Structure 1
């Protein structure tokens, strides 16, 4: 056994355990990591000949400060003792190897948070890694987190949505790589000599997702003049309810990548495909979570209705106007959802006010999910390029392609003697530009979206009271 499992009476003591982030060793660890990060190259190594580089002795001293802090904090986390031992060994091996490209495979293999899902359980995590939607370089990062695994969620995972690798988590504190838009902790981002045969966990920070959702939704509702049902208004104003909605949404979304009628490898890892294929996959997973939430609401699960509106609002308000327009597949999915609902008369933009048919919204959203599922099911019998064109046809039915698009002109406009992956070069960076509605909305929400970078649930600076000023 590589970890000490926490259960029974031990689990009851978790809420009163000393916070790692409040221990005096944590700021020492954090400061040492922040000292090391600027010295690192994009691959995580340290070039001692570079301008501004430290001496090797200085780098070794900083690593030893990290080691000392980890060893001081480890007794607070007996369930992580094996990981901490491996972490110390990997840190010292990095130093002994003259700070080349870091290899933390041994500590990664010793870290098993999904095997010990106990609500409120703390973890101290230190790895050289990039942070998705954050820092693209493999810098050393440190984060203190807590597991989110209430009994109602554990019961749903046991009985309906088996996902043994999923970890709902919240931030306690973090280094600069997470002072960004990143809301995930994924093992594939960590610097290792070789990828493990299989990953055994994946974490999503539901507190950051919820806080970001509340900020952007509150702003969008005010800008668009949208009248919310009282229960949905109350949900947007309640951080805890939103966190519960997101952790359930994430758990179902995550498992959907490997469930359903799938052409092949739905994650599309290491595959070169047009970005609308990624957009449809992410939207399929979100709409599957939405469909599950409709059923959960019917079955009396309190979080079911909240998940539906978390999916709708995040997809329609935040996703389309967040990030660059270059191959923005999540933005594309949000645009598609809004356009589908608009063209089926579920959402109306009239007199500069957005109106939603709340009764029809679940039915029509599930209808879009069914169209995407049919695309996937039919794709099993199609060649790759034919499947790509079928997906393009689905998207372009509701979204106008760029007028200069070669793909929009059909197969005759492309050199089909090339392999499909080469034809991806003919895809425009912004194949489906924003509509006039979203161009205007993006300008209105630009500041509030920028302000959610590095947002924390406990100190976000937002009041989130709909109808009031959006900044405290």
Structure 2
């Protein structure tokens, strides 16, 4: 490894907070200095950047990881592999990085201990954040309370799920990203299977509290006292999201016609992704109703969180190009509205709190029926049936080809792959535009949503902590 020292640095004080450790601060600075030197794929072009500029920065990352490693004894093998992968990256002349060896050595799901710290260093993109595979560094804690561990063990088995909170992070996470997924790491080849997935419940909870509080005020919505308490309590909201995420995440591989999470290996019209994500959320809602009846306070909180996040934040977040989560939120709102479980009158929103759970579970049942019937359908027919379900409640774009029915679609194409592509190409970028209600809400909430970029549980704008 050219110009990079193999000497082990002296370990820091293990009793100090990792976020304040001098080695962590050096590591962060070095990563941020490397960021503008990296290309989209993570490589560094040494024909335009002097190696004498790059090597000292990578050496700082390497020695900082060495110095911090004793603070994370459970990750000793992983952090040693990170150092090896950094050396190998330098030896290639900083071509596209390959951190497969260190990725395979990282096993956070094997020690789900409440409060356990991890240091994570990978070249990666951050979903809903930085699309480039820059080197990133994150300090995080595992959230694994006893009650959640019991539910996972006895009822909602999900051995790969790792709920986490931020301690500190580099710029790729000063974004809207709330996940740490192995799929995003730069590797020479994808592992045969992934064994863990991390979700930052503090960011999810803080974002939920900020946006929902503003929406409730803007819409004049009267909410139950316990819902008000949830919006004011960050810790309670985090506990809510770890339960929601636990059930949602496992649902991708459970039930009729299960899909891979996010249907990564499939190309489908975006409403199929939207229905899959909504199915998982509504399954969590249905289970939360049962948990509430059994005495779990978190069960009622999960219902509030799904309703508010899905109806208020999801439809008006992100752009309007194939926004599948936005579509799912619009569908939930429209379904509740058409079944008179919520009303918008005199510029005020009201929810029938006695009926909302029943009607929400009714929508879950319709989606489950679609999936069950889909087992006996060819893919094209299933896509059309799903479109018909969504368009019963959401008005398609006036220029939509799909809305004209099967006779307008290119169903005469005999090659299956070409047919699938043609059907996807016929989808409008915004196949189900925002309703007038959401157009108005988007304008009012846009500033609040923008302000949640990079938010963590240590400070929620506009919400009492």
Q: TM-score range by the shorter chain?
A: over 0.9
CA distances 1:312-367 after superposition (whole Å, capped 9, x unpaired): 00000000000000000000000000000000001100111100000111111000
How big is the shift at 1:265?
Answer: 4.6
- Partner-residue secondary structure (3-state), 2:16: coil
CA distance in 2 between counterparts of 1:362 and 1:264 reads 26
Q: Hey, what does 2:450 align to over in structure 1?
A: 450
CA distance in 1 between counterparts of 2:259 and 2:176 reads 30
CA distance in 2 between counterparts of 1:286 and 1:222 reads 25
How big is the shift at 1:95?
Answer: 0.6
CA distance in 2 between counterparts of 1:49 and 1:274 reads 42
Q: Is the 8 A contact 1:186 1:202 kept in 2?
A: yes
Q: Is the 8 A contact 2:78 2:105 kept in 1?
A: yes
Query: What do you get for the CA RMSD once the two structures are aligned?
Result: 1.2
Q: Hey, what does 2:146 align to over in structure 1?
A: 151
**Residue 295 of structure 1 is aligned with which of 276, 290, 293?**
290
How big is the shift at 1:49?
Answer: 2.5
- Partner-residue secondary structure (3-state), 2:241: helix
- Partner-residue secondary structure (3-state), 2:263: coil
TM-score (norm 2): 0.95
How big is the shift at 1:302?
Answer: 1.4
CA distance in 1 between counterparts of 2:155 and 2:207 reads 28
Q: Hey, what does 1:468 align to over in structure 2?
A: none
Q: Hey, what does 2:70 align to over in structure 1?
A: 75
Q: Which structure 1 residue ranges, 5 or more long, are not aligned?
A: 1-15, 466-472
- Partner-residue secondary structure (3-state), 1:88: helix
How big is the shift at 1:20?
Answer: 1.1
Q: Hey, what does 1:168 align to over in structure 2?
A: 163
Q: Is the 8 A contact 2:275 2:328 kept in 1?
A: yes
Q: Hey, what does 1:178 align to over in structure 2?
A: 173
The yes-or-no answer on 1:18 pairing with 2:13 is no
Q: CA, structure 1 residues 199+260, in 2 after alignment: closer, same or farther (shift >3 Å)? A: same
**Residue 258 of structure 1 is aligned with which of 235, 249, 253?**
253
Q: Hey, what does 1:247 align to over in structure 2?
A: 242
- Partner-residue secondary structure (3-state), 1:296: helix
CA distances 1:158-206 after superposition (whole Å, capped 9, x unpaired): 0110000000000000000000000000000000000001101000000
CA distance in 1 between counterparts of 2:115 and 2:424 reads 45
**Residue 28 of structure 1 is aligned with which of 7, 26, 29?**
26
CA distance in 2 between counterparts of 1:128 and 1:456 reads 22
Q: Hey, what does 2:436 align to over in structure 1?
A: 436
- Partner-residue secondary structure (3-state), 1:398: coil
**Residue 399 of structure 2 is aligned with which of 404, 411, 415?**
404
- Partner-residue secondary structure (3-state), 2:67: helix
Q: Hey, what does 1:58 align to over in structure 2?
A: 53
Q: CA, structure 1 residues 267+459, in 2 after alignment: closer, same or farther (shift >3 Å)? A: closer
- Partner-residue secondary structure (3-state), 2:39: coil
Q: CA, structure 1 residues 264+257, in 2 after alignment: closer, same or farther (shift >3 Å)? A: closer
Q: Hey, what does 2:270 align to over in structure 1?
A: 275
CA distances 1:368-408 after superposition (whole Å, capped 9, x unpaired): 00000000000000000000000000000000001100000
Q: Hey, what does 2:39 align to over in structure 1?
A: 41
CA distance in 2 between counterparts of 1:149 and 1:232 reads 23
TM-score (norm 1): 0.93
CA distance in 1 between counterparts of 2:249 and 2:261 reads 11
CA distance in 2 between counterparts of 1:22 and 1:201 reads 28
Q: CA, structure 1 residues 24+266, in 2 after alignment: closer, same or farther (shift >3 Å)? A: closer
Q: Is the 8 A contact 1:263 1:380 kept in 2?
A: no
The yes-or-no answer on 1:337 pairing with 2:335 is no
Q: Is the 8 A contact 2:209 2:460 kept in 1?
A: no
CA distance in 1 between counterparts of 2:36 and 2:370 reads 46
CA distances 1:110-164 after superposition (whole Å, capped 9, x unpaired): 0000000000000000000000000001000000000000001000000110000
- Partner-residue secondary structure (3-state), 2:271: helix
- Partner-residue secondary structure (3-state), 2:115: coil
CA distance in 1 between counterparts of 2:225 and 2:311 reads 20
CA distance in 2 between counterparts of 1:455 and 1:202 reads 20
Q: Hey, what does 1:84 align to over in structure 2?
A: 79
Q: Is the 8 A contact 1:215 1:464 kept in 2?
A: no
Q: Is the 8 A contact 2:213 2:463 kept in 1?
A: no
How big is the shift at 1:264?
Answer: 5.5
Q: Is the 8 A contact 1:218 1:464 kept in 2?
A: no
Q: Is the 8 A contact 1:263 1:379 kept in 2?
A: no
How big is the shift at 1:460?
Answer: 3.4
How big is the shift at 1:250?
Answer: 0.5
Q: Hey, what does 1:370 align to over in structure 2?
A: 365
Q: Is the 8 A contact 2:252 2:259 kept in 1?
A: no
Q: Which structure 2 residue ranges, 5 or more long, are not aligned?
A: 1-13, 414-418
The yes-or-no answer on 1:395 pairing with 2:393 is no
Q: Hey, what does 2:460 align to over in structure 1?
A: 460
Q: Hey, what does 2:101 align to over in structure 1?
A: 106
Count of matched residue positions in the alignment of Structure 1 and Structure 2: 447
The yes-or-no answer on 1:307 pairing with 2:302 is yes
Matches within 5 A, 1:97-136: 97-136=92-131
